[in-house]
């Protein structure tokens, strides 16, 4: 129980990677605060049940990560947060030349500004305690871009830059900031974006491990970054992709 006594806050935790990380942190001893949009309430309830089944406590926040005032109020109400996982994100595939401003802005508001707003809300208490862990869920798309996902890849590249700069700006206060770059993970969103069994088979063959990822494959790296095992690691981005990308 390497996270015993810690409280973790995971955004976008109603399903997929966020849900897996939240449950995984609980299995390793952390109490959880999980959030997502109000329309994801039923899924959040299911995740909360999985958390409490581990013997840890959990709390739900219905929260839009683009709403600065709501974020600050929620963080103040929750109290101590030792581990922050910025996981909330959206992806609506479109070719860049077909991209409208509304879609562009929505992706940057959730995927990039959301990381900024939630991190800034949590950082003062971490600084006061001279301790904290921030984990940003990026993507290997940030490494080189992906057709029909250029806007999404751009937001995730912003997240990698935020990770590096936050690490430099907070390290003197005992806070580490790292990123995880998942590859193709078979979440609901991942399956929708692949679109066909043929696409799944193609990327399975491309991967060195000859399979695509499961949300639980992201849990180990998240626990590592959340724990003291990574106490001398900050500003880094770890590819968790089964060997699709090598850099």
Are 65 and 107 in contact, with CB atoms under 8 Å apart? Answer: no
Report the alpha-carbon distance of residue 191 to residue 158 in Å, rounded. 24
Task: Based on the residue annotation, tell me whether 152 is a catalytic residue of this protein.
Answer: yes
Question: What percentage of the chain's residues is helix, strand, coil (to nearest 5)?
Answer: 55, 15, 30
Report the alpha-carbon distance of residue 201 to residue 186 in Å, rounded. 12
Q: Write down the residue that tokens 């639980």 correspond to.
A: 216
Q: Pick the catalytic residue: 19, 22, 58, 152?
A: 152
Distance (Å) of CA 39 to CA 45, 75, 93, 188: 12, 20, 22, 16
240: Cβ contacts below 8 Å, ≥ 6 apart: 180, 181, 182, 183, 213, 217, 218, 221
Range 38-61 burial, b when 16+ CB lie within 10 A, else e = eebeeebeebbebbeebebebebb
Could you tell me which of 117, 125, 98 has the C-alpha nearest to residue 11? 117
Q: Write down the residue that tokens 């409490």 correspond to.
A: 52
Report the alpha-carbon distance of residue 23 to residue 182 in Å, rounded. 18
Which residues participate in catalysis according to the annotation?
A: 152
């Amino acid at each position: 129980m390497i996270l015993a006594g810690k409280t973790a806050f995971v955004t976008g935790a109603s399903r997929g990677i966020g849900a897996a990380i939240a449950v995984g942190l609980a299995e390793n001893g952390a109490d959880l605060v999980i959030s997502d949009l109000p329309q994801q309430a039923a899924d959040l309830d299911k995740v909360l049940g999985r958390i409490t089944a581990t013997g840890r406590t959990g709390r739900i926040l219905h929260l839009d990560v683009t709403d600065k005032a709501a974020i600050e109020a929620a963080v103040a109400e929750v109290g101590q947060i030792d581990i922050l996982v910025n996981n909330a994100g959206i992806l609506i595939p479109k070719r860049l030349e077909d991209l409208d401003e509304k879609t562009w802005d929505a992706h940057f508001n959730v995927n990039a500004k959301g990381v900024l707003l939630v991190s800034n809300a949590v950082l003062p208490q971490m600084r006061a305690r001279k301790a904290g862990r921030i984990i940003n869920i990026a993507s290997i798309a940030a490494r080189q871009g992906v057709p029909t996902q250029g806007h999404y890849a751009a937001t995730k590249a912003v997240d990698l830059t935020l990770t590096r700069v936050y690490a430099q700006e907070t390290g003197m206060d005992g806070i580490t900031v790292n990123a995880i770059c998942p590859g193709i993970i078979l979440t609901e969103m991942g399956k929708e974006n692949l679109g066909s069994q043929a696409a799944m088979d193609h990327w399975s063959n491309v991967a060195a491990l000859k399979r695509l990822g499961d949300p639980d494959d992201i849990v180990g790296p998240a626990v590592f970054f959340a724990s003291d095992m990574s106490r001398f690691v900050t500003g880094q981005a770890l590819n968790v992709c089964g060997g699709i990308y090598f850099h």
